[in-house]
Amino acid sequence: MRSRSAWPKLRVADWTGTRDTLHMWTQIVGKIRLAHAPLVNHWWQVTLYVTPRGLTTSTIPYGTGAFDIEFDFIDHQLHIRTSEGTARRLELEPKPVAQFYDETVRALHELGVETPMQPWPNEVEQAIPFPEDTVHASYDPQAAHLFWRQLLQAHRVLGQFRARFVGKVSPVHFFWGAMDLACTRFSGRPAPTHPGGAPHCGDWVMVEGYSRELSSCGFWPGGEEGAFYAYAYPEPDGFRDHPVLPADAFYSEQNGQFLLPYEAVRTADDPDRVLTEFLQTTYEAAAEHGGWNRAELEDDPHRWDRRR
């Protein structure tokens, strides 16, 4: 399972329609979680999580009970389950965003879960209201399955990398705004007010998201073939010129972050090692040039193995 064959090939051009539709579907489900979960710093309460079958909201409080929603990319169904023992199941198949939105909201209503929310997407240039979106209507089950497998591998390595940090660090979670899997480390110091500027997203959202000095990394299914990324906020002097590994990694002036093409990881003799090198060296670029107290923030995740 740790061989190269575990990392699937999926070029963006081969599933753009499905990717864009799925992006809108995850925004709808993410906004449902946003409507009910109490605020957690940096909007951690709105994210989705990788599961052995797809992506889940995890438990969402509702009244004195709870519910959850899960994308199943093996059987290609959307599962909605409540703590009352009731459930609804929707098929993941080619359908417009407007239909998916209507079916999801109706299923929640049937389960007694009312969800007022802003019915339009965020952080995208073309923000068509969900009830009116008949543009995005593609769903290739094989492509969705391969994307989930990409997330599964990225989640595994990001989780191992996360374990090295004992300071404040986010879960490995899926942000539906930009459709990326992310993990963020924090220095412990406040950050300057973020200027905002994300499309169809209030600047105050970014102010909350970037309220503390950070080093973030993750996976994004964009560009030509998808890419792993790493950036710092605020970006310290010397960050972009810091030597990072592997050789395929580069600093993108356009994106303001280091990028490593997914294919460079997938085709490597040891994908885990190559990706870990990227995550570690880009973090070091942020920590060293930003003056982080690394001695207090890092530790060996195997420090208790001999006692187990």
- Structure confidence at residue 225 as a pLDDT band (50, 70, 90): confident
Angstrom distance (rounded) from CA 95 to CA 134: 8
191 contact partners, CB below 8 Å, separation of at least 6: 210, 211, 212, 213, 214, 233, 234
- Residue 192 CB coordination number (10 Å): 10
Residue 1 has pLDDT above 60, yes or no: no
- Structure confidence at residue 2 as a pLDDT band (50, 70, 90): low
Q: What's residue 4's pLDDT?
A: 63
- Residue 281 CB coordination number (10 Å): 17
Q: What's residue 308's pLDDT?
A: 86
- Taking all residues of the chain, what is their mean pLDDT, rounded to a whole number? 97
109 contact partners, CB below 8 Å, separation of at least 6: none
Q: What's residue 153's pLDDT?
A: 97
How many contiguous H segments (helices) and E segments (strands) does the chain have? 7, 12
Q: Could you write out the DSSP letters of every residue in 129-180?
A: -GGG--S-----HHHHHHHHHHHHHHHHHHHHHHTTB-SSB--SEEETTTTE
- State which amino acid sits at residue 47: T
Rg value, the chain, Cα: 20
Q: pLDDT tens-digit profile of 86-114?
A: 999 999 999 999 999 999 999 999 999 99
Residue 3 has pLDDT above 80, yes or no: no
State mean pLDDT over 68-85: 98
Q: Could you write out the DSSP letters of every residue in 11-43?
A: -GGGTHHHHHHHHHHHHHHHHHHHHHSPP-GGG
State mean pLDDT over 68-97: 98
3-state secondary structure of 305: helix
| HEC profile of 235-253 | CCCCCCCCCCCCCCCEEEC
247 contact partners, CB below 8 Å, separation of at least 6: none
The pTM score is 0.96
Q: What's residue 276's pLDDT?
A: 98
